Structure formats: C-alpha cells, structure tokens
C-alpha cells in the first residue's frame, strides 16, 4: 500500500494534511452500477497518476481514474502539448498509451497499490476497438470509463461520442465482455447531450460522465502562430463550468443512471452546483495541477458542509439551500 509518510527529521506539509481529514461522519457514498464509492469525488482521466499516492491521501477519494488506455501502443502529440491562456488550460497531449498489455505490466500495479478502486479509462479510434481493450483488461480495475471523445476513423473523424448510434455500438459491445460498471464519458460538442446520454443508458451503461475538455485553438499573441504543436487542443478549467453545468442539467433530465460531472470543479461549492442540477458525483481535473490535493479538498469540503448544516445527505443540504 502507498501511504503519505512523514519524514520525521524534516517534516513537510503533507503529513499534517493527511492526518487532519476531519471526521467522515456523513455517508456520502454513491453507487455506480455494482460499485460503491465512499465519496462522490474522483480525479478526471489524465489529471491523476499513481505518483500522487505519496503526496496526497488518495484513500479519501472515491476512486482513481487512469489515463485512457487504447488498443495498441501510441505516442503523444508533438510539442508544445499544453499552455495556459486567460480562458483556461489548453492541452493537446494526444493520450499516449502503451496498450492494455503495457498498461497491465507497468501502470496497473501502481494503481492497484493505491487504497481506492481503479476506474480504467478506455479509448478507441473506431467503435469496434473498445470491447477488445476491455476484454484484455479482464478482471483488473473496478470499473471502465469509455472515453468516446475520440475521432471515429470509420466516420471521417467525427467524434464517436457525438453520434448516438456509435455510442450504442460501443457500449453494447463492451457490455458483452464485462460485468463491471461502465461509465461513458461524453464530449461537449454534441447536437443533443440528452440523445447521447440516452444512447449510453439504453445500451447498458451504468453511468455517464459529462463532459470533457472543449476543442480550442490558442494562438501566440505576438507571432499569431498556433501555440500547440497539434494546433488544436482541449480547453479545461473553471471557465468551462457554466457550459458543462448546462450539459449535466440536460443529461440528468434525460437518463435514470447517475451522471458524473466533469468540468472546472475546484471547490466543494463547484461540486454542489453540479449536484444541484442533477449530478451524482464529480471529477476534478485541471485544479489538481496547481493543488495536488484539490480533489481531496472537495471531498473534505462536502463532509464539512453537511456537518455544518447538520444533515446526513447532499440531497438534504441542497433542499435546505433551495428553501432559502
């Protein structure tokens, strides 16, 4: 097991932080299919790694979420891969992957050593590529998150996740090869998020995650050339929260399965905003770079807010707020 361990001779801020979680007196657990998370807070794919196991009390999170695993090994995009503009962070990392075999050999043991369930993110370049990856991952991991924000090579590069028929095809195929919970991570740029969420639900998904970074193109202010080597990247951070709030609201009204919100969550209040429009859980991404413990802070903040209001559930907390 990986644990935050203090150097007794030269203490740093980690140990004091890990030792002061406050009493987890409120049951905030949430079910994603057959998987129960003790808190509705987890990292966003790509914004977490087992490296954090020694820096933050990972056990206070509901789950760990891996970087997306593709069917075959692939490299990432050319430099520069990320930048910060006033509107947020833009990344075009390109999701390098070692494939399921490489993932299981090198990364998975480090995730398994963490004290939380591992949700393995899975990607594909066409709908048929997802199920073989899930099958190859077998009994590893507690759930699968299908990253359908990938260009579909069968359909001239349109995002798989923007096409309800393609979503259905992906989920139905994955459902046949695993009994573990399936989460479908939907993209922002879709004609109808409700149709996309319904397609996932009808094909057997246990939850949808709404949403992902937003395609964007940052230019250098001086040279007016694209900053990113890939020209286009994904915008993330607090500025995308209102955009994703709308999508979460629409998706939550369309499906019965849990909606996991992902977009600009930095604080417990951001999480409560998402819960108030129908989300059951949140993912924390960009905020973790500046504050590695950001997701832990959100989880602790939710406990604190419920304790302060003397309520036992987030639903009760939101009802109190709504009655103002």
Partner 1 sequence: MRATAAAAARREAAARARAFAEADARALDGLVSVRPRQAVPRPQPVWDDAEMLVHEPAGERYRRLVLASSSIAHTALAGQFLMITVPPHAGDTILLPRPMAIHRRRPATADQPGTVELIYGVVGRGTRALAAVPVGGTLQVTGPLGRGFEFETGTRSALLIGRGVGICGVMGAAEDAQAAGIRTTMVLSGQRPEQLLGRADCAELGVRVIAVTDDDGSSDLVTLSAGLRAEFDGATPERTPPDVVMVCGAGVLARLAAELGAHWGVPVQASLEAHMACGLGYCHGCAAPVRTDASVEGPLVCADGPVFDARIPVD
**49 part of the interface to partner 1, by CB under 8 A:** yes
Shortest Cβ 83–partner 1 spacing (Å)? 6
150 is catalytic: yes
Binder among 19, 73, 105, 191 for partner 1 (CB under 8 A): 73
For residue 253, CA distances in Å to 34, 195, 205, 241, 250 come to 22, 11, 16, 18, 5
Q: Which stretch binds partner 1 (CB under 8 A): 6-14, 136-144, 156-164, 206-214?
A: 6-14
**113 part of the interface to partner 1, by CB under 8 A:** no
Binder among 1, 10, 308, 324 for partner 1 (CB under 8 A): 10
Shortest Cβ 73–partner 1 spacing (Å)? 5
**185 part of the interface to partner 1, by CB under 8 A:** no
Q: Which stretch binds partner 1 (CB under 8 A): 79-87, 114-122, 188-196, 299-307?
A: 79-87
Catalytic residue among 150, 196, 209, 306: 150
**80 part of the interface to partner 1, by CB under 8 A:** yes
d(C-alpha 171, C-alpha 198), whole Å? 12
Residue 97 DSSP label: B
CB 228 within 8 A of CB 78: no
Read off the tokens for 277.
Answer: 């429009």
d(C-alpha 58, C-alpha 292), whole Å? 10
Binder among 65, 82, 248, 268 for partner 1 (CB under 8 A): 82
**226 part of the interface to partner 1, by CB under 8 A:** no
**225 part of the interface to partner 1, by CB under 8 A:** yes
Shortest Cβ 37–partner 1 spacing (Å)? 21
For residue 309, CA distances in Å to 36, 270, 314 come to 25, 17, 10
Residue 212 assigned to a binding site: yes
Residue 67 assigned to a binding site: yes
Buried (b) or exposed (e) across 150-182, using 16+ Cβ within 10 A? bebeeeeeebbbbbbebbbbbbbbbbebbebbb
**237 part of the interface to partner 1, by CB under 8 A:** yes
d(C-alpha 212, C-alpha 262), whole Å? 7
**78 part of the interface to partner 1, by CB under 8 A:** yes
d(C-alpha 195, C-alpha 183), whole Å? 16
Active-site residue numbers? Answer: 150
């Amino acid at each position: 097991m990986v644990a935050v361990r203090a150097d007794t001779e030269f203490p740093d801020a980690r140990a004091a932080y890990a030792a002061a979680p406050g009493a987890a007196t409120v049951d905030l657990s949430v079910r994603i299919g057959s998987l129960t998370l003790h808190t509705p807070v987890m990292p966003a794919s790509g914004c977490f790694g087992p490296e954090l196991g020694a820096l933050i009390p990972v056990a206070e999170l509901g789950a760990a979420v891996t970087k997306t695993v593709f069917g075959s090994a692939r490299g990432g995009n050319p430099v520069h891969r990320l930048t910060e503009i006033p509107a947020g962070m833009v990344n075009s990392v390109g999701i390098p992957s070692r494939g399921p075999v490489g993932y299981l050999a090198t990364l998975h043991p480090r995730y398994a050593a963490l004290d939380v369930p591992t949700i393995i993110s899975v990607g594909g370049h066409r709908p048929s590529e997802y199920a073989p990856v899930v099958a190859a991952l077998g009994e590893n991991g507690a759930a699968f998150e299908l990253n359908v924000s990938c260009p579909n090579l069968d359909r001239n590069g349109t995002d798989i996740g923007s096409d309800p028929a393609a979503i259905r095809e992906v989920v139905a195929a994955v459902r046949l090869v695993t009994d573990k919970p399936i989460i479908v991570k939907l993209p922002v740029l879709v004609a109808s998020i409700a149709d996309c969420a319904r397609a996932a639900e009808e094909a057997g998904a246990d939850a949808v995650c709404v949403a992902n970074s937003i395609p964007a193109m940052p230019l250098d202010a001086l040279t007016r050339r694209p900053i990113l080597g890939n020209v286009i990247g994904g915008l993330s951070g607090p500025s995308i929260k209102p955009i994703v709030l709308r999508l979460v609201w629409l998706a939550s009204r369309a499906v019965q399965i849990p909606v996991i919100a992902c977009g600009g969550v930095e604080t417990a209040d951001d999480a409560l905003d998402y819960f108030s429009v129908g989300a059951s859980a949140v993912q924390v991404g960009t905020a973790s770079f500046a504050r590695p413990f950001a997701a832990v802070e959100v989880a602790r903040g939710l406990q604190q807010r419920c304790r302060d209001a003397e309520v036992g559930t987030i639903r009760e907390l939101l009802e109190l707020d709504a009655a103002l």
